[in-house]
Amino acid sequence: MTFWQNISYKMFRSGSKLYLLIGINVAVFLLINVAAVIQGLFGHQSIIDFSYEYLALPSYLPKLLTRFWTPLTYMFMHAGFFHILFNMLWLYWLGQIFEEFLGDKRTLGLYLLGGLSGAFLYVASYNIFPLFTQSGALLTSSAIGASAAVMAVIAGAATIAPNYTIMLFGILPAKLKWIAIFYVATGFLGISGPNAGGEIAHIGGALFGFIYVKQLQNGRDMIGAISRLFKSRSKLKVASTNTGRSSTSDAPRQEEVDRILDKISTTGYDNLSKQEKEILFRASKK
Go through the domains of the chain in sequence order and give each one's CATH number. Answer: 3-228 (1.20.1540.10), 247-286 (no CATH)
> What is the pTM for the complete model shown?
0.78
User: CA distances (Å), 27 to each of 31, 44, 109, 142, in order?
Assistant: 6, 22, 20, 21
pLDDT tens digits in sequence order for the chain, 286 residues long: 676 666 776 676 677 889 999 999 999 999 999 999 998 888 777 898 899 999 999 999 999 999 999 999 999 999 999 999 999 999 999 999 999 888 888 999 999 999 999 999 999 999 999 999 998 899 999 999 999 999 999 999 999 999 999 887 778 889 999 999 999 999 999 998 889 999 999 999 999 999 999 998 888 888 875 555 555 554 444 444 444 443 344 566 777 777 777 676 566 666 677 677 777 766 665 5
Q: Quick check: 24 and 38 in contact, CB under 8 A? A: no
User: CA distances (Å), 71 to each of 68, 114, 283, in order?
Assistant: 7, 11, 32
What pLDDT is recorded for position 116?
A: 97
Can you give the length of the chain in residues? 286
